[in-house]
Structure 1
Amino acid sequence: MYSNKFGRLMLGLYSRRQAAVCGVAQRAAGLTGSSWTVVCKQRTLWLQRSVFLETERRATLPLTSARSASQTTVDPSELRRFQSLAGKWWDEQGEFAALHAMNDLRVPFIRDNLLNVHRARHPGKPLAGLSILDVGCGGGLLTEPLGRLGADVLGIDPVEDSVSTAHLHSSYDPDLRDRVSYRACTLEELSGDGEEGQAETQFDAVVASEVVEHLADLETFAYCCSQVLKPGGSLFITTINKTNLSYALGIVVAEQLLRIVPSGTHDWEKFISPVDLERLLESYGFSVQSVQGMMYNPLSGAWSWTDSTAINYALHAVKPGDPAEDGSTHPEDPAVATHT
């Protein structure tokens, strides 16, 4: 799904240090020192309160709940927003420009981590023989390059027009016709379409890039991911952190002041920190292998890895169990491949 975060654009213009960026955002907002301090303190208090309430709520639930497909990850307001953008996915200079550029990081991130577990058997097609589910595929911006690496990829999205756009675009590439397919459905529908609520098909990897910050229910998302993954399968997520900095740049500056992003594009309450996301995934049996910060430079139009997760980050987690046999190997070091 679409996640045109202004925080990504602004972060490349400023220092990686959060204090420096906050200073620039403060001047852009035209706030006095005391006013800006109030804004930051207010967001901190809200964050602490939301974490406290979430902790209390989760304490009343079992770690693994018997969730049904009747619980949905879909937010109707998000659905309407992406419906209006369904025909713009492949405009590389349009609203999805940063998402196109993100492939330079997220495709190698997925490929290299999978190759840590699954030995490459086909030169030029390192992911051949592996099955991948691309959740919230939109127009297929990430689905297609994964297919070109040899994987069998199913892209799913609740917006039918986006799925139509993705299918039409991939149909022009003969190399993708037998590897890439699309389906207009939700993750929970797919995870419960087999007998007794079990997923009919399981995958070697699930990818949810710029998706979780648009979902209505993250617990249902985590549960369904565990259902559709094979034992030892990998889950890849890229999303936006829940910090004062992401609120200042993504909400205050981008939407309320400069109007670069339409008001209402972002809901700060839906953002999630790496710590909270890791805690959620571990409650459903996942083991988080790595979390890596990402940064976008609007001057060069390129993404790069960074030590800071204050705005964007990528996460790799693994479902317990042995990877599929037939050519799979266990890495000596489970850590993620290092990117520079």
Structure 2
Amino acid sequence: MTQMGNMAGGGGGSADGAEVAKFDALASDWWNPRGPMAPLHAMNPVRMGWIAERLGNLQGLRILDVGCGAGLASEWLAREGAVVTGLDAAGAALEAARAHAAASGLSIDYREGMPEDLAGGGYDAVIVLEVIEHVPPSQRAAFCASLARLAKPGGLVALSTLNRTRRSWLFAILGAEHLLRWLPRGTHDWKQFLLPSELGALLRGAGLAVTDTAGMLPGLGGGFRIGRDMAVNYLMAARKPG
């Protein structure tokens, strides 16, 4: 399941043209809760609730949504009063995001690009949802360093991603892409999934202190819930010293 359009792989920073095109092609269906992004629609309330618990009152907080896609997380944050910047490398997805935000009466600063190219910083939180599994291993350390740079001292960096386990292959690849066809085949590469220990090491290598982890588990009625089992989808939060 992926949030974005996407910051993955290749010669120009952390964005890969083929990966960007893949998610651009889904732009028109992004806001369809029964379309290719249905798993994200089901997951969004619980992952955003978990992040919000670690931030407290969101009113007025400056939050950067890296790999924002068409804006599912960005709009949730904006409705809670945050000042949101959405960043993605996929132009068509961003156009869908801007159109949906305008129709919803929300003010969100959507920008095309990659975190390593974004000037400034000082964000209260940087969120990176279903993104880092699309960043090639050789570029992940620099990617995480960019996330740390963009957060203010004491700021939060929160990620959600997929674990590299047999169960994640069964659920995310065989189940979601091949059997249930929730996602187009080839959306994910299981070999690119990260163990929590690997993600934690990347964040600590970027100078961040890991503070919380949690699993996201399918719940009754088709939604998700927070739990201890991180074998498939999981969340990780870290703080920038300061």
TM-score by length of structure 2 reads 0.89
Q: Would the alpha carbon gap of residues 94 and 254 (structure 1) be closer, same or farther in structure 2, given more than 3 Å must change? A: closer
Q: Work out which structure has the larger RCO, using CA pairs closer than 8 Å and 6 or more positions apart in sequence.
A: 1
Match 2:74 to one of 108, 125, 143: 143
What does residue 8 of structure 2 align with? none
Report the RMSD for the aligned CA atoms in angstroms: 2.0
* 2:64 alignment partner, SS class: strand
1:286 aligns with one of 191, 208, 211? 208
The answer for unaligned runs of 5 or more in structure 2 is 5-10
Q: Which residue of 2 aligns with 1:85?
A: 26
Give me the whole-angstrom Cα distance separating, in 1, the residues matched to 2:31 and 2:42: 12
Partners of 1:132 and 1:153 within 8 A in 2: yes
Find the aligned partners of 1:281 and 1:201 in 2 and give their Cα distance.
Answer: 17
Match status 1:202 vs 2:122: yes
Report if aligned partners of 2:64, 2:127 keep a CA contact under 8 Å in 1: yes
- Is the aligned partner of 1:169 residue 2:169? no
Residue 263 of structure 1 and its aligned partner are, at CA, apart by: 3.1
1:81 partner amino acid: K
Residue in 2 aligned with 1:187? 115
State the Cα distance separating 1:173 from its structure 2 match: 2.9
- Work out the percentage of aligned pairs sharing the same amino acid: 38
Where 2:126 maps in the other structure, the secondary structure is strand
* Residue 94 in structure 1 maps to residue 35 in structure 2: yes
Query: Is 1:212 paired with 2:132?
Result: yes
Match of 1:270 in 2: 192
Retained in 1: the 8 A contact 2:48–2:76? Answer: yes
Cα displacement string for residues 113-159 of structure 1 (whole angstroms, at most 9, x for unaligned residues) = 012xxxxxxxxxx3122100000101110101101111100001100
Q: 1:278 to 1:149 in 2, by over 3 A?
A: same
Q: SS in structure 2 opposite 1:142?
A: helix
Q: Which 4+ stretches in 1 moved above 6 angstroms? A: none
1:231 aligns with 2:156: no
Q: Which structure has the bigger radius of gyration?
A: 1
Q: 1 or 2, which has the higher strand percentage?
A: 2
Partner of 2:2: 2
Partners of 1:72 and 1:220 within 8 A in 2: no
- In structure 1, the gaps of 5 or more residues are 5-69, 116-125, 194-199, 322-340
Partner Cα separation in structure 2 for residue 255 and residue 140 of structure 1: 22
Q: Distance in 2 between matches of 1:129 and 1:154?
A: 12
CA distance in 2, matches of 1:71, 1:220: 13
Q: How has the CA–CA distance of structure 1 residues 279 and 93 changed in structure 2, closer, same or farther, with 3 Å as cutoff? A: same
